[in-house]
Structure 1
Amino acid sequence: MAGCLEDTESTPTSGGGDTGDGSGTGTEGGDSGGQDSYTIGMVDALTGSLAPYGNRNQRGKDLAVAAINETGIGSEGAQLSIAVEDSESSNQSGVTAAQKLVEQNGVPLFIGAVGSGVSIAMYDSVTKGSGVVQISQNSTSPELTTRPGLLRTSPSGSAKGKALAQFVAGDDHDKVAVTWINNDYGSGLSEVFAENFEGEVVFNEPHDQGQSSYSGTLTKMASTDASAWLFLTYANEMTVMANEAFDQGYNTGVDYYGAESTIADEILENTPEGSLNGMKGITESAPADQENYQNFVSRFKSEYDTSPTVWAAYAYDAVTIAAIAIEAADEFTGSALKSVVRDVTRPEGQEVFTFSEAAEILRDGGSPSDVNYQGVSGPVDLDENGDPPGLYQVYSVAEHQYKYGDYITS
């Protein structure tokens, strides 16, 4: 599993830090005003059970920073730097990390986090009322929608939960057993699924994160007459469950289903062949035929010798939106960034596909609403709740590999 990552962009630039009121680390002026650098923050899962997802975010973040700094922010070509803190995949550590970024580094904007519960905890404890802008790169819980000030580049799980319910029912299953990770992500997605499933949910219970065994949960699921099992969980937990279910022979009598968090190379690497064959699910997806996504894939493969996931694309877009907002704002403060960050993604503006294209419009006298950033993950279009639209794709496991099929648009 991924561990603690060393990151060259994780050290804030000098001259930073103030009272944590979102006033930032630099001089005012959206055109840099002679400033040579800007520092924003990022809370990511570098350790803990969400580290496999944090690793891909760091790669997306690094590619975005490189592209932005090729152009530079403002007329002086100021460089963007990101101070990265580890959420350790837990709510409390995430809050501590956010507090450090806001109160010690003085960032007016930070990106974070992976887990929905971590993002919500940081917003409720740190961001709300502070004047600081928070953009989650990977959190999908429907609960985030109830906090309009908490923005995100990954879509809400509401549409995914409905699509999952229809998908499982469409495979002629009328009874399903559901187990979900005991946090905001799991509870939110399981509720949407249960509300929309046409059949009967005969088992619907949580499991705790980071356990060494889930045999009790699996035994209860096996005692039902469900023909389908839905796992709404993370990579570490799915690995343990898949291994235990395989050992007990449970996987031969039911069909497995999952969502996006049951897609991870680490799961396949740490489970035996045959343990997940036939598993299906629905995951967030990027527009494969979109030119800027293809360019992103090409750069990612060149840099890391592997293909990106859509989650790396969401991280890339979160950083790019932040940079465009800095370019567009009158000053480098939380309140100034908050007033423009939605505008630069809205469909009323001219479509742009890179930071450079957005900067050109703004430097030619355009306003934030003249820019409509089209992310590498697809249209962002942050609505009044801070949510983007969603594109989803069906996946399955065959020959111990993930295979991808039809697209679903929310």
Structure 2
Amino acid sequence: MNDNDNRSIDRRSVIKAAASAGLVGLAGCSGGAPEDGGGGDGGDGSDGGDGESTDSSTDSGSETYTIGMVDSLSGSLSAFGQRNQRGKEIALDDVNSVGVGGGELAISQQDDQSTSQGGVSAAQTLVNQEEVPLLIGTVGSGVSTAIHESVVQNTDVVQISQNSTSPNLTNFPDLLRMPPAGKAQAEAISTLLDEDGNESAALAWINNDYGQSVGEAFIDAYDGEIVYNEPHDQGQSSYSSTISSMSDTDADAWVFITYQPEFATMSQEAFDLGVTDQAAWYGGDSVKGPKVLESAPEGSLDGMKAVVPSVPQDAENYQAFVSEFEERFGEEPTSWSAYAYDAVVVSALAIEAADEFTGSALMEVVRDVTRPEGEEATTYEAAHEILANGGSPSDVDYTGVSGPIDLDENGDPVGLLQVFEVVDHAYESAGFIEG
């Protein structure tokens, strides 16, 4: 049961203190940046900048609850940041059309530039200077863990990653996330290789937490022979040495755990070297996207399979999200947009459910509002109604547009994975796997 009147008093004192420091009530609403096509991944940069605060206009005297968001608005992960911006925008409008804690939600935002250093600096601004009690962030798994270890850990701040999939995040129970862990992806890729009769594999992984942990999970799951297992650095102008070394192994399958810009370069160089047909190609979530196909010669990637986090495409709330997204932006959302949407909604539900607007109070309830013991609510409005009518956090089971969340003791959700295959230079669904 919630004492909303007492909670409002506690929150009001926090908001007044923050407002005196100029931290809340910032005008403007994020318009987002162009996003890639439906159902997949990809993008081409963002026009978002540092220090953006997104908020719907508020009536004079209403309370504003400001949380932080670190996102990849520039750099090699900006394609993901674009998706996040649009999902965040819709979520913010959905939350504020209903209200939260008697007021409205605002998001103060910083760009991590797709780097750990940028992420830590962005988080320090939000946590240490603006003193947000909850931080959504971020895309890259290594960046999320750097933020957690350098800024969030041993504080009362709640951190929810909107996109990070590295298995290593499981080692940080207070680092929550919306997408399923990359271990499930790695195991699914291994299963695909086995089912397709590949007895040996060459593995190329990007030299960071994401690449290493997902690569290790693949090696643990794969029954065949690993004949190449080497990292590559992010942002290089050429990866011809990687492709040449993989080619020299005569492996049955090539597995890429890397990012879209790096993979786009690799696929072009493989075509230039005439080795695209030498092995079957497989990849994780971060190698799939329209921009990859646009940069690859026609037909050069046909037959490649990629495993990506997915959404319950037939669910009513997801279809409503798709309709709103298409109406606003003229294209379908991706699973990453859905994860960002749910990160905002879960944050708002935690604010509604908590006794006060502090990190420690939010951490006490943030898992509970997603768990299956409560009454299922597939929209923010429905979940908010349960809480506003006196329900406790455990009375709510928010099932998001990305599917059931059910955050466990490690901060991991349940998840759904989808397999895509490139056919006639286009992505086609090849089935679903429960993560």
State TM-score, norm by structure 2: 0.87
Deviation at 1:145, TM superposition (A): 0.2
Whichever residue aligns with residue 48 of structure 1, its letter is: G
Other-structure match for 1:5: 47
Aligned pair 1:287/2:329, yes or no?
no
* 2:88 corresponds to which of 53, 56, 61: 61
Gaps (5+ residues) in structure 2? 1-42, 56-60
* 2:65 corresponds to which of 24, 27, 38: 38
Other-structure match for 1:217: 242
3-state SS of paired residue (1:252): coil
Q: CA 1:9–1:295 in structure 2 vs 1: closer, same or farther (change >3 Å)?
A: farther
3-state SS of paired residue (2:365): coil
- For the residues of structure 2 that align with 1:340 and 1:116, how far apart are their CA atoms? 24
CA contact (8 A) 1:9 1:82 kept: no
CA contact (8 A) 1:2 1:47 kept: no
Deviation at 1:12, TM superposition (A): 6.7
Deviation at 1:10, TM superposition (A): 2.7
Aligned pair 1:125/2:118, yes or no?
no
Per-residue CA deviations over 1:159-183 (Å, capped at 9, x if unaligned) read 2211111111110000110100111
CA contact (8 A) 2:200 2:251 kept: yes
Deviation at 1:88, TM superposition (A): 0.4
Gaps (5+ residues) in structure 1? 14-33
Percent identical among aligned pairs is: 54
Other-structure match for 1:199: 224
- For the residues of structure 1 that align with 2:96 and 2:44, how far apart are their CA atoms? 27
- For the residues of structure 1 that align with 2:95 and 2:64, how far apart are their CA atoms? 12
Per-residue CA deviations over 1:103-148 (Å, capped at 9, x if unaligned) read 1111100111100000000000000011100000100000000000
Other-structure match for 1:19: none
* 2:294 corresponds to which of 244, 248, 269: 269
CA contact (8 A) 1:91 1:122 kept: yes
Per-residue CA deviations over 1:222-246 (Å, capped at 9, x if unaligned) read 0002011011110100110010001
Pairwise CA RMSD: 1.4
CA contact (8 A) 1:140 1:156 kept: yes
CA contact (8 A) 2:100 2:348 kept: yes
Other-structure match for 1:20: none
Per-residue CA deviations over 1:181-214 (Å, capped at 9, x if unaligned) read 1111100111011111111010011100000000
| Equivalent residue runs for 1:393-404 within 5 Å | 393-404=418-429
Aligned pair 1:256/2:251, yes or no?
no
CA contact (8 A) 1:52 1:266 kept: no
State TM-score, norm by structure 1: 0.92
Aligned pair 1:235/2:277, yes or no?
no
- For the residues of structure 2 that align with 1:12 and 1:298, how far apart are their CA atoms? 23
CA contact (8 A) 1:2 1:46 kept: no
Deviation at 1:35, TM superposition (A): 4.7
CA contact (8 A) 1:132 1:335 kept: yes
Deviation at 1:7, TM superposition (A): 7.2
Aligned pair 1:141/2:166, yes or no?
yes
Aligned pair 1:305/2:330, yes or no?
yes
- For the residues of structure 1 that align with 2:234 and 2:385, how far apart are their CA atoms? 46
3-state SS of paired residue (1:180): strand
Whichever residue aligns with residue 102 of structure 1, its letter is: V
Deviation at 1:390, TM superposition (A): 1.4
Whichever residue aligns with residue 68 of structure 1, its letter is: V
Per-residue CA deviations over 1:239-268 (Å, capped at 9, x if unaligned) read 100100011111021111111111112212
Larger displacement relative to structure 2 (214-223 or 258-267)? 258-267
